[in-house]
Structure 1
Amino acid sequence: MPQRTLSELNRIFSVFKDDVEASEFVTIELANNQIVFKYASVELISRTIEGIYPDYRQIIPQKQETKIIVNRKDLQQAIKSVSLFSKLGLFDIKMTASPEGKLTLFAQDATRGKNDVSIECDVSGKENTIALNYRYILDGLNAIMSEKIEIHLIDGANPFILMPHEDQKDEFIYIVMPIRQ
């Protein structure tokens, strides 16, 4: 759909954000080359962009070497703390999951120093380390509302999945590409 439609939808949400009568849900209907969004008392109709699109399911990793279940807010706080020491412009941090139930985040910059933070989590599978742009993972965490999240890792060269642990597990998948080092 056009970017302008998404901008308008965002504006509608902000207008109704304090309206207690507004629903928490948006109804979305697809028909031919149109999409209809219904929210509160507003109905937004837009055309869809025609074309042939790649099968998005092909980029979703089907296997995992490591599965992490962690408190979303703890992870957000740890990322924000470590990110202060990431390289400017690269926004890189390293994340290591160990089977002993520890997720360690690390960042280092030659001029600002280094920092690491460890948080408790449930880890199944093997130890795994991945370098990532912390901004991307924070964007995904901000979109998830559940208390706990799952991270599925293959290795440091493949995309990983971020998803709610229980609520909306089948409704939301966030894929992040690692930074190759």
Structure 2
Amino acid sequence: MGDGTEDVSVCVESTQVFFVFGSVRIVSRLIDGKYPDYQQIIPSEFSTTITLSRDEFLRAVRIASIFSGSENEKVRMVVGGENGGKIFVHAESSGQGKNSTELSGEFSGDTQDVVLSPRYLIDALSSFSGESVYVLMNNSSSPVVLRDTLDQKLSTYLIMPIRG
């Protein structure tokens, strides 16, 4: 995988496809059965809508992940409530200390306090290419939906909260 001039071997079978190039082997298998209707699990209505800078949110989550500890990695996102209309990302662990970052953004709807995996947040935010991201939620136990403002239909990420 150097300059892009290597040969790729492709083998297609009825339920599998193989790609081999250099020392890399990729196998893809056809899944038996019906693919689940993923649209059923993505909420269509939300009680809270947040619009944030993707880079600022990503930076805050990366910093918070350092303070979240290695065993129970989790970050808390708090919106509204005692904070007014402010948005915070918090993390703490006994061995790493505490971190709290206030984010600038737009918030409408209900107050929220949700605990999420920093890894999943980082994966989602890193995959988006727009400057801003929508964070959509209903409550602390419902899925949180992240959408790239650049392309909402193609860039949707669903994250289940962690019990805090």
Change (3 A) 1:55 1:74: same
- Residue in structure 2 matching 1:95, options 77, 80, 86: 77
For the pair 1:170 / 2:153, whether they are aligned, the reply is yes
Question: Structure 1 residue 56: deviation in Å?
Answer: 1.0
Aligned partner of 1:180 in structure 2 is 163
Aligned partner of 1:155 in structure 2 is 139
Report Cα offsets for 1:50-100 as digits up to 9, x if no partner. 421221111101221110000000001111112211032221110012284
- TM-score, structure 2 length as denominator? 0.78
- TM-score, structure 1 length as denominator? 0.71
Aligned partner of 1:78 in structure 2 is 60
Aligned partners of 1:47, 1:152: CA distance in 2, in Å?
33
The alignment's C-alpha RMSD in Å is 2.4
- Residue in structure 2 matching 1:146, options 130, 142, 150: 130
Aligned partners of 2:93, 2:16: CA distance in 1, in Å?
48
| Partner SS, residue 73 of structure 1 | helix
Report Cα offsets for 1:2-36 as digits up to 9, x if no partner. xxxxxxxxx7xx866xxxxxxxxxxxxxxxx899x
The alignment-based identity, stated in percent, is 30
Q: Show structure 1 runs of 4+ deviating over 4 A.
A: none
Alignment of 1:20-39 (within 5 A): none
| Partner SS, residue 162 of structure 2 | coil
Aligned partners of 2:51, 2:64: CA distance in 1, in Å?
20
Q: Aligned pairs, how many? A: 143
Aligned partners of 1:93, 1:48: CA distance in 2, in Å?
36
Report Cα offsets for 1:98-151 as digits up to 9, x if no partner. 284421011111122111110111001011110011000100001100000000
Residue segments in structure 2 that go unaligned for 5+ positions in a row: 5-14, 18-27
Aligned partner of 1:63 in structure 2 is 45
Q: What letter corresponds to residue 80 of structure 1 in structure 2?
A: R
| Partner SS, residue 84 of structure 1 | helix
Aligned partner of 2:8 in structure 1 is none
Aligned partners of 2:93, 2:29: CA distance in 1, in Å?
47
Partners of 2:87 and 2:102 within 8 A in 1: yes
Alignment of 1:4-15 (within 5 A): none
